[in-house]
Structure 1
Amino acid sequence: MSKREVRKHIRKVLNTLSDARLESQSTCVAEQLRALKCYREASNVSVYLSMPKEELRTLQILANAHSDGKRVFIPRITLSKENSNYIGDRSDHLTMLLQSEAQIAQLRPRGKYALLEPQNYEPSLDAANCGGLDLVVVPGMAFTQNGARLGHGKGYYDDYIKRHEIITGRRPVLVGVALQEQILESLPLEGHDEKLDYVLVATKS
């Protein structure tokens, strides 16, 4: 199948999942992440705010990260002209902004994708200006257990990881978090697609 066909198939499957199944799998993966040595040793972590249906829910991961004393950075799609440090030729790009639990609780949907994101880009909160990230929890439409990932098709994360390496001189640990229904044997990937260090998936029920 093509990337487009895989996304269409996975989206259809995910939209049939019950809230109970989403919650149970999300809780299981949150505990798996907490047990990873690379997570325990990380200070600066990025965690996405999940959509209601099409991906693993990250509220427990966020709560754990704050409880564990991590500095938590939330993805924001930022216009490239807003960020004087931007490297590249995209009109918009991903930034990761430091947010407290209280700030996250107040976030509202913004932008063309109606994602929960910080309303404003503040350079002082940008991970690139805060020592960089140690670990990134990466969303996706589909994964393989050996680290392949198919995103939503906009290339935001692949672009971000490359820029993070250029700016900070290091690559954060990339952890994909997946529902069982998102795991496939193989994916139609290209050379620019970043491979993940870990893919966490709930154990079979």
Structure 2
Amino acid sequence: MKTKEAVRQACKSQRAALSIEDCESWAAMLCDEIVHLPQYEQAQSIMAYLAMPKEANLDDVIEHALQSGKRVYVPVCVDKTTMIAVRLHNLDDVVRGVLNIRVPKEPYEIIDPTDIDLVLVPGAGFDRYGGRMGMGNGYYDRFLKKLSPTYYIGVAWNAQILDEPIPMERYDQRMPAIVTEQGVIHVN
């Protein structure tokens, strides 16, 4: 059994090895999968994320949601343990923050996590049992702990889905489903 940190490093290396061209072509397929999810179609407010290079990119989903009149929120980490959901009115309304991650310009319009209809959760990797490997800071685990699993779904490239179970700890939140550019993986 590999340690959690070894699995995290393997997931990050695997993502880093993906080609920009593949990621760009998969983004449209991923968007198509997400916008046809019943949870997405019914949601009035969604929390997406502003992807890092080679991360499963949701920019097309964000554009679709904004054009459909949905309220879109993205995560902003305000300290070493706290992540908030901040309204995004436009993909051009961003600046580069910590780690060169895109964040909305201030002042922030913050929503209570329980008022979000659907949270699209990124990860360095996922397994077929709903296990999620994050980046190691626990921001999403703490954020999702306040929500019912019916309100969130993991998002990744299919290449990030592991056959072996990810080592999970007590506070790690399992995903009820994971959506990739190749479809939805429903977790039992």
Instruction: Say yes or no: TM over 0.5.
Output: yes
Partner in structure 1 of residue 92 of structure 2: 105
TM-score of the aligned structures, taking structure 1 as reference length: 0.81
Matched, 1:126 2:130: no
Poorly superposed stretches of 4+, deviation over 6 Å: none
CA deviation string 1:64-107 (max 9, x = no partner): 1112221000111114xxxxxxxxxxx54000011101xx3131
SS at match of 1:52: coil
- Displacement of 1:121 in angstroms is 5.6
Partner in structure 2 of residue 78 of structure 1: 78
Q: Give the counterpart letter for 1:109 in structure 2.
A: R
Give the % identical residues: 27
Q: Contact conserved, 2:153 with 2:176, CA < 8 A, in 1?
A: yes
Q: Give the counterpart letter for 2:64 in structure 1.
A: N
Larger Rg belongs to: 1
Partner in structure 1 of residue 186 of structure 2: none
Distance across 2 between alignment mates of 1:74 and 1:50: 10
Distance across 1 between alignment mates of 2:124 and 2:171: 17
Distance across 1 between alignment mates of 2:64 and 2:20: 21
SS at match of 1:72: strand
> Which residues of 2 match residues 147-162 of structure 1 at below 5 A?
147-162=130-145
Partner in structure 2 of residue 5 of structure 1: 6
Partner in structure 2 of residue 116 of structure 1: 102
> Which residues of 2 match residues 1-205 of structure 1 at below 5 A?
1-53=2-54, 55-79=55-79, 92-101=81-90, 104-111=91-98, 113-120=99-106, 122=108, 125-128=109-112, 132-162=115-145, 164-165=146-147, 173-185=151-163, 186-203=165-182
Unpaired runs of 5+ in structure 1?
A: 80-90
- Displacement of 1:202 in angstroms is 2.2
SS at match of 1:108: strand
Distance across 2 between alignment mates of 1:36 and 1:146: 19
Aligned length: 181
Q: Contact conserved, 1:173 with 1:197, CA < 8 A, in 2?
A: no
Distance across 1 between alignment mates of 2:107 and 2:176: 29
Partner in structure 2 of residue 86 of structure 1: none
SS at match of 1:5: helix
Q: Give the counterpart letter for 1:157 in structure 2.
A: Y
Distance 1:153 1:98, change over 3 A: same
